């Protein structure tokens, strides 16, 4: 009988301590599903619900250190930007929520994961769509090149030595 109680007690301790094991936080920081965010069958409400469940709610439960690990860092490169020094770049999620904005010349921005339309406020007068980017994996770093000659935003892997 004592052995059974000891085994049961040991199982309870292992179960309880297992709930706080390192790596459990990683479960709330998952790569986003592109099919749930950008497919022919999703509408704006589906995307908004998905962001709420997998980006906003987990983000609300994180402390600042966890949120910084969750954010995606974009290292900005501006090509042919001489006449656009007063431009502002806006990151509009594909559920029409503005996630961030920055002035041309700023080197980095941290965004929560998602699918974004990158908008220039000055090309062609105002609100020019420079294209869509997908930054679906939390904690990653990318280079985002804003090429004013091509009127495009180009996402690429981050290379520290650039």
Q: Tens digit of pLDDT for each residue in 39-80? A: 999 999 999 999 999 999 988 899 999 988 899 999 999 999
CATH code: domain 25-157 is 2.60.40
Amino acid 20: pLDDT: 41
DSSP the chain: -HHHHHHHHHHHHHHHHHTT-TTTGGGGS----HHHHSSTT--HHHHHHHHIIIIIHHHHTS-HHHHHHHSEEEEEEEES-GGGTT-EEEEEETTS-EEEEEETT--EEEE-SEEEEEEESSGGGS-EEEEEEEE-STT-EEEEEEETTTTEEEEEE--TT-
Amino acid 124: pLDDT: 73
Q: What is the pLDDT of residues 77-136, one digit of tens each?
A: 999 999 888 999 999 999 999 999 999 999 999 999 999 999 999 887 666 899 999 999
The sheet that has 88-93: what strands, in order across it? 98-103, 88-93, 114-120, 128-135
Per-domain residue ranges of the chain: 25-157
Amino acid 30: pLDDT: 82
Backbone φ and ψ for 29, nearest 5 degrees, come out as -110, 80
Backbone φ and ψ for 85, nearest 5 degrees, come out as -65, -20
Per-residue confidence at 13, pLDDT binned at 50, 70, 90? very low
């Amino acid at each position: 009988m004592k052995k059974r109680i000891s085994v049961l007690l040991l199982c309870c301790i292992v179960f309880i301590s297992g709930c706080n094991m390192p790596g459990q936080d990683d479960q709330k920081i998952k790569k986003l599903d592109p099919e749930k965010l950008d497919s022919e069958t999703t509408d704006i409400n589906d995307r908004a619900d998905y962001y709420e469940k997998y980006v906003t709610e987990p983000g609300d439960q994180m402390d600042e250190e966890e949120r910084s690990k969750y954010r995606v860092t974009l290292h900005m490169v501006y090509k042919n930007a001489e006449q656009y020094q007063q431009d502002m770049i806006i990151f509009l999620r594909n559920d029409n929520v503005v996630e961030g904005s920055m002035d041309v010349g700023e080197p980095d921005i941290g965004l929560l994961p998602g699918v974004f339309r990158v908008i220039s406020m000055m090309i062609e007068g105002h609100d020019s769509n420079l294209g869509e980017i997908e930054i679906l994996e939390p904690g990653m770093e990318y280079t985002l090149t804003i090429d004013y000659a091509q009127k495009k935003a180009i996402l690429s892997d981050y290379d520290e030595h650039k």
